[in-house]
């Protein structure tokens, strides 16, 4: 009889713990500033996302062969391919004005679970901001939103390849 009560008590504690974890929101530290010459890196511990940055010098003779640069973009709105982000699909649309990326729109992103929605609502503005500042798809992956970041880069690269003259 004693084993039965101990087993039931363990199951109740596990159930209560599971409910508590499911409704807990991750804490994300916001970066103080993103600049064009900043290399961004995010690192996560189990309950929060953190952001750190370090200065990087850009030489004028560097070329990026995997991502189009600002020279050669055609004005217009370009939709990237749908990319799998494990927890959902990511698709972005890039708006090009005066041969520069001026706006990005997420047509879809993982939003089937409250934690995914919360994390992506934090990560998406950083991805947009860094893309507009760098004027290409060469952005840092955000830890804690790794799948979304990778799918974003894939979809954006496809959109920018369409915009490349």
Q: What is the DSSP letter of 70?
A: S
Each residue's pLDDT tens digit, 99-140: 999 999 999 999 998 989 999 999 999 999 999 999 999 999
Q: Is 65 exposed, middle or buried (0-12, 13-18, 19+ CB in 10 A)?
A: exposed
Using 50, 70 and 90 to split pLDDT, how confident is the model at 76? very high
Question: Tokens 């973009």 belong to which residue?
Answer: 73
Domains and CATH numbers, the chain: 29-55+69-163 (3.90.1010.20)
96: left (phi over 0), alpha (psi -120 to 50) or beta: beta
Cα–Cα distance measured from residue 8 to residue 12, given in angstroms and rounded to the nearest whole number: 6
Read off the pLDDT of residues 20-63 as tens digits, 9 standing for 90 and up: 766 555 554 444 444 433 333 333 333 334 333 333 333 333 33
Q: Is the pTM of this model over 0.85?
A: no
Question: Is residue 5's pLDDT more than 80?
Answer: yes
């Amino acid at each position: 009889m004693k084993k039965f009560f101990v087993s039931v008590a363990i199951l109740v504690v596990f159930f209560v713990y599971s409910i508590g974890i499911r409704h807990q929101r991750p804490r994300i530290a916001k970066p103080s500033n993103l600049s064009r010459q900043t290399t961004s890196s995010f690192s996560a511990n189990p309950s929060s996302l953190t952001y750190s940055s370090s200065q990087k010098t850009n030489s004028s003779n560097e070329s990026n062969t995997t991502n189009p640069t600002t020279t050669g973009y055609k004005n217009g709105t370009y939709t990237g391919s749908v990319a799998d982000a494990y927890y959902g699909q990511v698709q972005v649309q890039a708006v090009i004005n005066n041969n520069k990326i001026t706006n990005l729109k997420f047509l879809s992103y993982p939003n089937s679970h409250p934690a995914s929605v919360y994390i992506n609502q934090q990560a998406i503005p950083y991805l947009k901001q860094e893309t507009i500042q760098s004027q290409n798809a060469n952005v840092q992956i955000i830890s804690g939103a790794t799948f979304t970041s990778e799918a974003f880069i894939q979809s954006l690269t496809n959109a920018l390849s369409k915009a490349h003259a």
